[in-house]
Structure 1
Amino acid sequence: MTATVTRLPELDNASPELATTELASAAPANTLLTAGAITTSAALLAACGGGGGGSASSTPPSSTTPPPVVTTPITDAQASRFLAQASMGATRTEMSKVQSLGYAGWINAQMALPATTSRYAWLVAAGFNNITYKNSESGFDASNWKKLINSPDTLRQRVTLALSEITVAAIDGLIGGGWRSFAAATYLDLLESHAFGNYRDLLGQISTSAPMGEYLTFRGNVKYNPTTGAMPDENYAREIMQLFSIGLVMLNLDGTPQLANGQQVETYTLTDITGLARIFTGWDFDLQGKDTSTPDFLNRPMIQIASRHETGASTFLNTTIPAGLDGATSMNQALDWIFAHQNVAPFISKQLIQKLVTSNPSPAYVQRVATVFNNDGNGVKGNLSAVISAILLDTEARADVADASSTSFGKQREPILRFTTWARAYNANSPSDAWAIGDTTNPATKLGQSPLRSPTVFNFFRPGYVPPNSGISSASLVAPEFQLTNESSVVGYVNFMQNAVSNGIGDMKADYSSLLPLADNAQNLVNELNTVIAAGQISAANVTLIVNAITSMPSGTDPTRYNRIYAALTMVLAAPEFIVLK
């Protein structure tokens, strides 16, 4: 396996072998280093050991009185690691809030924040609802990057991103009525508005969403035609079961498959899909006079066209929705039945854990979260606020992992999250409000991933993906984000980040004023970057290599200090211990 090594101009006077060759020699065997980035599965697996984060312990129990709880201070590294799981990226300000409020207090404060201006409203304010934009995607990427990088409700944005990768729609598939930017923005706004709500309510909103109706082709779906033999479209019926609710196989509460005679038990059959498809007939845009000259219809739920709806009985998943019901009633009864399925809690809980904390949660972790999904303590199923809190506060998420060589805990950071980690850490801002980052899906030149631009309904990466012929597969682990990882994407990422760090993107630039006083002292500079960006997880050996590289660079003036900052940031953002969060 070979790759072209990216050149870092800032290191021309910094002993380049320290930035690449020596860092590579310090990396695990079978490792390819590209501008400091470890790229093979084996290397990133080796980086997938434990991680810090515990904040509380108890005194030994007394025989007569309950033990008092001794709360230990949250360290900078622990606060940063928590924010790597719970936000779009750590900042010194948010780290201080975590330390002051505690983990639970910070989560509660975040959930109490009001939502910021919607993507849809931003597009309107920017004038993208002019008819000249009807057949373009203009403005969408900017409206979303602004949210991910700049919104104070960073937990809500992180959960919205996670939900968008479970209940997938993608802008390139939103083609039915034009105004794709608004369709995509509307869908993300919907997910954001329900990020801390109830999952059953979210399923209901998705199932009447005009963008989802377009994307999974049940908008305009009609009942069986006995003359032509045409059957209802089965696309949404299949995906709402397979991807949005119960999955393909029966699960125990801990997420492990149920077995019968040694074989996994399927959750549904083609007959179930056919029966459920009858429910999703009759839905169409609420055009209010067939007017598509503005995008407003995309921001309204779909409506029922009674003559197109199947009014006969519909049987699926061992239940029958009776004949004679209107479309809305039959759909709600069907969704209630799906939501009541025992798989929903473990299926959705495990995926949320994978998106936020670790790719391979223990069955016990999944069961604890799924238990909260089934009952938030007040008898309510599907309370996402309770579920998110349970995920982030669980002992597996917060406890220190003693064995740093562990290969079972951790996750590769998605490219989007690597980018926003840098942008948030150093207050990247677009003074013109243009946020001209654009579509970053090209793996050779950009991130290889961009919000709501998944190539399929199966997301950018599947939750059960296993890199073939890798140490990960040998260890019987999964590594979802590795589905995006190859030579091209690694080189493209480093090049993209190097340019973003040094030059910004358009008028969006980072503010390094907090780093300037540290730049003449390489050790202090790298220590700060390691703490805020990588939660203190970069190994001592790799820290030393980066420090030596920076030390060899000129210093003493602001231009040389900035060059040191650019080089140090690029190497930290390419370090294996940053790319894989423990």
Structure 2
Amino acid sequence: MYAPESAPLSPLLSTGQVSRTRAFAPGTGSGQSMQRASRVPTPDELMDWAEQRFPSLFGSHETSQTADGLIYRYYPGTQHYLGVYQDHVLVLGPASGNVVVNVGSLARFADAVFSAGGPFNDEEAARFLLQAQFSASTTDIATLRSTTYEAWLESQFNTAPGITGWDWLTLRGYATISSDTAYYDNNYQGDYMIWHQLMTSPDAVRKRVALALSEIFVVSLNGVDISWRSHAMAHYWDQLVANAFGNYRKLLEDVTLNAAMGYYLNTRGNQKENPATGRQPDENYAREVLQLFTIGLVDLNPDGTPRRDSSGATIDSYSQNDITHLARVFTGYDYDQSQNQPSNVPGTTRTVPSLHYVRLPMALNASRHSTLESRFLGTTIPANTPGAVAMQIALDTLFNHPNVGPFIGRQLIQRLVTSNPSPAYVSRVTAAFNNNGAGVRGDLRAVIKTILLDDEARSPMGLTDPQFGKLREPMLRLVQWGRTFGIRSAQNSWKIGNLSNAGSQLGQSPLRSPSVFNFFRPGYVPPSTALASTGAVAPEFQLVNESSVGGYLNYIQGVIRNGIYVSAPDRPNNGTSELRGYDITANYANELALVTNPDALVARINLLMCAGQLSAQTVTLISDALKTSNVTASSTESVKLNRVAAAIFLVMASAEYLIQK
């Protein structure tokens, strides 16, 4: 006979951690809104979870057995049974008074098993934080552990943005007109701007999502050669930030009319056809908005898998004719110069425009806009439709295409969680894109929440699944290091430049993609590897080669130990000043406090940088390496710093750090 479900002898319900999960079970009246797990755990998933969470009761991994409909495991070390019978979770052993206790249904434990309610330990908290933002501090971990994943995300959605990239550039003096600095013709200050944004902004989740969007809607500092190009890129970045938790439809329109994008993909100055000369509208933006920003190359099912025709072939999502007709919509647009107040550059004959035009949406010149009929993706825009109306129809058509949810959703999963999401995971994200629960399509807040709270993202099973996870991008490794260890710029210069050189730097720098196709393709498969034989993809590995591996290690080793050298930290422009030196440095006070205890030092770094995912073997290797040099409380500060830097470097060089799970 089963004891009552509320029996105080129940070992699972007598713990503080699981009683919290129980409080959020249906019908308990907790008063808190919870993201429910989207499926019920299997008996094996429940028992695997219990072994991890309650090792004092179920301390070994045992094989499941069956008897008369009961699925159970016996743990000889503690003499406990854990089983499932007709959806009831049962415990028998010394902790239950040697009577069978029904501790609830499988469904009741769904949130706990898939960790959708909240983290049960520091490692789970750190793992979530490293997916949702750039870093995990001890304060972040404690804050998250005091609440639920959903409540924490809501607080981040409502966190006020920090200073915009545009305002930071202007406050630093980069809007000054001078032939000595020529900021209007340079883009290096754009690098300083974006690194400052990523390293210091208080709204880290918003900035993390914006960075992911910048790798889908690509505009690069390398390819925007206009006056005030750094301010143009700052405004582009600010628009990604502003729309990160907004609606995809507005994001699509803002990007389409943005001055930097207009230059990068030739919308700016695009003119209607001219039969006399044979001129046709430029098709660049029409092609890329289809291929990269909305629907992709082939028709997709909601789960992201390709649709196929009766012969098994994939189905093209658009044709050349669609591109040609859509290109007509994007004619007639140019920079909005209505607020332009050009200035002479002192001491020269040069005149430069004011900043306004790179911040204003491009304006339509009706005389340059094609008035021909446009037919694409099953939509017809009649001849002589006003240009602004034609634009709205075109963007609505793209936005409402069934491919957008799975095409964009899968890429956001890849950027934040794992390179190879299951079709079921993609399908759940697509559903959130299609309807946020209130009938709204394209709500990115709902999409991000679904990605981060999904069972597949939160389940500990991903930690041992070789198909789960992703390679950390080099630029994210540097940002994680900086935010984890309290990076600061003594003179507020933030002169971290273009780090794209693979041989001596990171081989990647934010807003510096080499082309509109980003740093890597979503479907990239490293050739001649085990991944290639399984059909899995590894996008970030497109950045990996012999040169980039050595370049990363050499660069990061020096930065960890010394910081980043700046020639003129007290001046906005390039040059050399008396204050030259390591202006941008980390604060290792907490690590230095553990410097005489290598095991504790490595444990701290493992938690903050790897969410505790380093194997015991790797932890031992690093700790033993640190112990080869004697460091005591009386050692010099330089010797102590050497040990801390070595510990961080060895962690950041390890394969178990480089692959984020």
Shorter-chain TM range is 0.7 to 0.9
Q: Which residue of structure 1 lines up, in the alignment, with residue 163 of structure 2?
A: 117
Q: What is the deviation of 1:226?
A: 1.1
Paired with 2:198 and 2:140, the residues of 1 have a C-alpha distance of: 15
Q: SS of 2:512's equivalent?
A: coil
SS in 1 for 2:461: coil
- In structure 1, the residue matched to 2:491 is 432
Q: 2:377 aligns to what? A: 317
Per the alignment, residue 516 of structure 1 pairs with: 592
Deviation at 1:358, TM superposition (A): 0.1
Q: Tell me the distance in 1 between the aligned counterparts of 2:107 and 2:184.
A: 66
Separation (CA, whole Å) in 2 of partners of 1:128 and 1:441:
23
The separation in 2 between residues aligned to 1:218 and 1:444, in whole angstroms, is 35
Equivalent in the alignment of 1:252: 301
1:235 partnered with 2:284: yes
Question: Does residue 578 of structure 1 match 2:638?
Answer: no
The number of aligned residues is 529
Q: What secondary structure sits across from 1:169 in the alignment?
A: coil
* Contact 2:212-2:415 at 8 Å conserved across structures: yes
Q: Which amino acid is the alignment partner of residue 384 of structure 2?
A: G
1-structure distance, mates of 2:190, 2:558 = 23
> CA distance change for structure 1 residues 444 and 390 in 2, over 3 Å: closer, same or farther?
same
- Kept in 2, the 8 Å contact 1:233–1:277? The answer is yes
Pair 1:287 & 2:337 matched: yes
- Corresponding residue number in structure 1 for 2:643: 564
Specify the alignment match of 2:622 in structure 1.
546
CA shift, 1:286, in A, is 0.5
Corresponding letter in the other structure for 1:424: R
**Is contact 2:88–2:105 with CA below 8 Å preserved after alignment?**
no
Q: How does 1:441-520 map to 2 (within 5 A)?
A: 441-506=500-565, 507-520=583-596
The one-letter code of the counterpart of 1:560 is: V
CA distance in 1, matches of 2:590, 2:240: 35
Match of 2:319 in 1: 269
> Aligned in 2, Cα 1:72/1:123: closer, same or farther, shift over 3 Å?
closer
Q: 2:42 corresponds to which residue?
A: none
Q: RMSD between aligned alpha carbons?
A: 2.2
Do 1:365 and 1:396's aligned partners in 2 also have CA atoms closer than 8 Å? yes
Q: CA–CA distance in 1 between the matches of 2:53 and 2:373? A: 55
SS at match of 2:185: coil
State the shift of 1:452 in Å: 0.7
Question: Which residue identity lines up with residue 254 of structure 2 in the other structure?
Answer: Q
Shift of 1:269: 0.8
1:327 maps to which residue? Answer: 387
- The one-letter amino acid paired with 2:152 is W
Distance 1:443 1:326, change over 3 A: same
Aligned in 2, Cα 1:73/1:580: closer, same or farther, shift over 3 Å?
A: closer
Query: In structure 1, the residue corresponding to 2:219 is in which secondary structure?
Result: coil
1:296 aligned onto 2:356: yes
> Secondary structure at the residue paired with 1:315?
strand
Counterparts of 1:17-166 in structure 2, within 5 Å, are 60=89, 67=108, 73-131=119-177, 132-166=182-216
Distance in 2, Cα, partners of 1:484 & 1:299: 32
Tell me the CA shift for residue 100 of structure 1. Answer: 1.5
Check whether the contact 2:206–2:241 (CA below 8 A) recurs between aligned residues. Answer: yes
Instruction: Please state whether the residue corresponding to 2:488 is helix, strand or coil.
Output: coil
Alignment partners' CA distance in 1, 2:206 and 2:462? 31
- Aligned counterparts of 1:474 and 1:72: Cα–Cα separation in 2: 37
Alpha carbons of structure 1 residues 403 and 83: separation in structure 2 relative to 1, 3 Å: closer
- Deviation, 1:276, is 0.1
Following the alignment from structure 2 to structure 1, what is the Cα–Cα distance between the partners of residues 462 and 173?
54
Once the two structures are overlaid, the 10-residue window that deviates more, 500-509 or 228-237, is 500-509
The answer to whether the 8 Å contact 2:192/2:494 transfers is yes
Q: Which amino acid aligns with 2:287?
A: R
Displacement of 1:324 after TM fit?
A: 2.0
1:203 aligns with 2:282: no
Instruction: Give the Cα–Cα distance (whole angstroms) in 1 for the partners of residues 425 and 108 of structure 2.
Output: 25
Deviation track 1:488-515 (CA, whole Å, cap 9, x = no partner) reads 1111111111111101013111000011
CA pair 64-184 structure 1, distance change in 2 beyond 3 A: closer
- 1:521–1:270 distance in 2 versus 1, CA, 3 Å: same
Q: Offset at 1:130?
A: 1.8
CA distance in 2, matches of 1:303, 1:234: 19
Cα deviation 1:477-535 (Å, max 9, x = unaligned): 00000000011111111111111110101311100001112111111111110111011
Aligned equivalents of 1:393, 1:361: Cα separation in 2:
14
Taking a change above 3 Å as real, the CA distance of residues 77 and 59 of structure 1, as seen in their structure-2 partners, is farther
Alpha-carbon distance between aligned partners in 2 of 1:198 and 1:51, rounded to the nearest angstrom = 37
Alignment partners' CA distance in 2, 1:487 and 1:546: 23
Distance 1:480 1:529 in 2: 27
Q: Secondary structure at the match of 1:450?
A: coil
Equivalence for 1:418: 477
Give yes or no for contact 1:526–1:568 (8 Å, CA) kept in 2: yes
SS at match of 1:435: coil
Q: Give me the whole-angstrom Cα distance separating, in 2, the residues matched to 1:210 and 1:55.
A: 53
Question: CA–CA distance in 2 between the matches of 1:511 and 1:122?
Answer: 24
- Letter of the 2:625 partner, please give it: A
Question: Which runs of 5 or more residues in structure 1 are unaligned?
Answer: 1-49
Tell me the equivalent position of 1:373. Answer: 433
Deviation at 1:74, TM superposition (A): 2.7
Aligned to 1:508, the other structure's residue is in SS state: strand
Q: Which residue of 2 aligns with 1:529?
A: 605
Q: Deviations over 1:447-501 (max 9, x none)?
A: 1110110001000011000000111101110000000001111111111111111
Q: CA deviation at 1:294?
A: 2.3
- TM-score, length-scaled by structure 2: 0.77
Runs (4+) off by over 3 Å: 58-73, 289-292
Task: Using the TM superposition, give the Cα deviation of residue 560 of structure 1 relative to its aligned residue in structure 2, in angstroms.
Answer: 2.1
Aligned partner of 1:278 among 313, 328, 335: 328
The range that moved more, 323-332 or 485-494, is 323-332
Q: In structure 2, what is the Cα distance between the partners aligned to 1:466 and 1:580? A: 16
Paired position in structure 1 for 2:242: 193
Query: Are the counterparts in 2 of residues 92 and 425 from structure 1 also a CA contact under 8 Å?
Result: no
How far apart are the structure 1 equivalents of 2:288 and 2:146? Answer: 43
TM-superposition CA deviations, 1:404-434 (whole Å, max 9, x none): 2x22111000011111111111110112111
Percent of aligned pairs with the same amino acid: 46
In the alignment, residue 153 of structure 2 is paired with which amino acid? I
Distance 1:51 1:540 in 2: 20
Aligned counterparts of 2:353 and 2:426: Cα–Cα separation in 1: 47
Superposed CA deviations along residues 341-376 of structure 1, whole A, max 9, x for unmatched, are 110000000000000000000000000010000000
Q: Residue in 1 aligned with 2:458?
A: 398
**Displacement after TM superposition at 1:51 (Å):** 13
Match of 1:407 in 2: 466
- Which SS does the other structure have where 1:347 is aligned? helix
Distance change >3 Å, CA 325–CA 100, structure 1 → 2: same
Shift in CA distance, 148/59, structure 1 to aligned 2, threshold 3 Å: farther
Secondary structure of the residue that 2:301 maps to in structure 1? coil
State how far apart, in whole Å, the 2-side matches of 1:236 and 1:162 are: 20
Q: Tell me if the contact between 1:129 and 1:294 (Cα under 8 Å) persists in the aligned partners.
A: no
Amino acid at match of 2:457: A
Q: Post-superposition shift, 1:73?
A: 5.0
Cα distance in 1, alignment partners of residues 457 and 313 from structure 2: 32
Distance 2:557 2:409 in 1: 36
Structure 1 residue 552, shift from structure 2 partner: 1.1
- For residues 394 and 313 of structure 2, the distance between their equivalents in structure 1, rounded to whole angstroms, comes to 28
For 1:228, the aligned partner's letter is T
Q: CA deviation at 1:569?
A: 0.5
